Amino acid sequence: MTAWYQNLQTKVMPEREIHFDFSQFVNENITRSWALTLWLIILTYLTFQVTFQQFSESPIVTAFVVVLWLVTVAITVFNEITRHHNSWTFWLKNNLYSSITNVELSLLLVLLIIAAVRGFFGYAITRASFTPDPEAAAANLAQFEQPGANWGAVLDNMRNLMVFRYPHDETWRIWATVIYVGILLIVSAVIFSQERFRGTWTRRILTIIWVLTPLITFGLLLGVGRPSGVMNPDVVWGGLLLTLIIAVFAIVASFPLGVLLALGRRSKIPGVPAWLTYGVAILLTAYFLYTATLPQLEKDTDFWRQIISFWPLIILFIAIAFQRTFNGNVVAAFSTLYIEVIRGVPLITVLFMSIILFPILLPKGTEVLSTWRVMVAAAMFAAAYLAENVRGGLQAIPKGQYEAADALGLKTFRKYWLIILPQAIRVVIPAIVGQFTGLFKDTTLIAIVGLIELLGVANLISAQPDWLGVRREPYIFLMVIYFVGSWIMVSSSRRMERNLGVGER
């Protein structure tokens, strides 16, 4: 071996000294344990199998990948044993070729990714049909041994997927909303990104317009000003339009409510005095024991029912827990109870409560549309989770910031508005955006309570006589829509984080 190293060094790169011990390499990377040796044998077998299979299916691309892999591995190994890395071989050594396992996995994963992309491309493009005519689509797909996607079902139902039953003659309202919001976003990007507009009336007016935007867009989409009156959202709203309306409303409405809940949970305002709490609890307990427990004991002989009849005693335990846990602070108790109860149940439970239980609590003759109930339920659910994110940001603010604000003589409102909340929200921007992204995707659950949003329309497509059984294509389209929406939110969050310096030390 020594002679081989010397010969290699003399012929290939005489100015570099080779540092390599073959026995040590084998002991450390192959035979260190029987589990490692077995794993390498299995991995090598799988790599060869996948490579040969890909050679038979796509020889040119596979040959290019394998040659590139061999060349980069050889160069990286040579630079490693000569201890003379450049920037890109150093990166390859640390990220892809740090061990035999990683060397083989790099090739295996690249080949599998290429195979997956090639398979999806064949399904979605090469062997697919794009005609919205059902008969022509069936004829196009019949010529392939393995038919691909039938995108005609999506194209034929594109309007349903976007707006569902929204009236054709009122479509201009949707376009007006899109154009209005688009112009507002462009103007805001210019105004809010330049320091010369900070503190000016231009920026304040733009902020006021943003505050009024939800009302303006809701008025447009509801049909305010129509001769026949406002449209019923339970009937005409659907598809992506309904998904965006519920998601945007829940995000916008949950933010201030979540901030208030977070502040309420941490509030230190003077609570109800203990003597008053215990006094009221004793009076209530005595009253219910006299009016409910005693009559129940007289007419019931069952032991367990008699035990249950002493339920008024729970009032005393609640009073004790209220005083010991919250020191009589009603705001903190309500905020904590709300947050923990809502976070303790899934979103679908809150949605069903808004649809089934909420109407029972309304006065007789009063009716609230299902769309409004679902929107409020989604906002209330999101607010509980956002409150915990904001509370985490408040706890991350150093105590000195609170003391400095107090030293400046700021009142509680101005202290939090100007000093504490901007810093706290800045810290938790990633968590808040992550929650909003999840909320955007969770809107698919409203299909279960009877509203036809994007997923609901996709489910209806497969039941149409012309496109009976076509399921994958609408779901793939939905996947793209949700991915693009989530990507936009995450990208905006990262840009905001960079501008605000979130995470910088």
Per-residue model confidence as pLDDT tens digits over 128-172: 999 999 889 888 888 888 899 999 999 999 999 999 989 988 899
Q: How far is CA 217 from the centre of its chain?
A: 24
CATH code for 341-505? 1.10.3720.10
Cα 347 to Cα 378: distance, rounded to the nearest angstrom: 8
129 in helix, strand or coil?
Answer: strand
Name beta bridge partners: 129.
Answer: 150
Helix axes 429-442, 472-500, angle to 10 degrees: 160
Q: Render pLDDT for 349-365 as a digit per residue (tens, 0 to 9).
A: 899 888 888 877 777 77
150 in helix, strand or coil?
Answer: strand
Per-residue pLDDT, averaged over 43-58, amounts to 90
For residue 319 the two structure tokens come to: 């009073």
Task: Please say whether the beta carbons of 246 and 453 come within 8 A.
Answer: yes
Q: Would you state the pLDDT for residue 201?
A: 85
Task: Please say whether the beta carbons of 439 and 251 come within 8 A.
Answer: yes
First to last CA, the chain: 51
Cα 108 to Cα 116: distance, rounded to the nearest angstrom: 12
| Spatial CA neighbour of 51 closest among 106, 94, 7 | 106
Task: Please say whether the beta carbons of 369 and 233 come within 8 A.
Answer: yes
Q: Would you state the pLDDT for residue 157?
A: 93
Q: Render pLDDT for 168-208 as a digit per residue (tens, 0 to 9).
A: 888 999 999 999 998 988 888 888 777 777 778 888 888 89
Please provide the average confidence, as pLDDT, over all residues in the chain: 85
Longest dimension (CA), the chain: 108
Cα 328 to Cα 373: distance, rounded to the nearest angstrom: 33
Backbone phi, psi, residue 16, to 5°:
-110, 145
Which sign does the torsion angle of CA 150, 152, 156, 161 carry? positive
328 pLDDT higher than 80:
yes
Q: What percent of the chain has pLDDT over 70?
A: 95
pLDDT band at 112 (very low <50, low <70, confident <90, very high): very high
Q: Would you state the pLDDT for residue 479?
A: 92
Q: Render pLDDT for 443-487 as a digit per residue (tens, 0 to 9).
A: 888 888 888 899 999 989 988 888 888 889 999 999 999 999 999
282 pLDDT higher than 80:
yes
Cα 114 to Cα 359: distance, rounded to the nearest angstrom: 54
Per-residue pLDDT, averaged over 27-31, amounts to 77
Q: pTM (2 decimals)?
A: 0.81
Q: Would you state the pLDDT for residue 483?
A: 93
Cα 503 to Cα 505: distance, rounded to the nearest angstrom: 6
Q: Would you state the pLDDT for residue 45?
A: 93
| Spatial CA neighbour of 322 closest among 254, 260, 373, 271 | 271
Q: What percent of the chain has pLDDT over 90?
A: 27
Task: Please say whether the beta carbons of 259 and 293 come within 8 A.
Answer: no
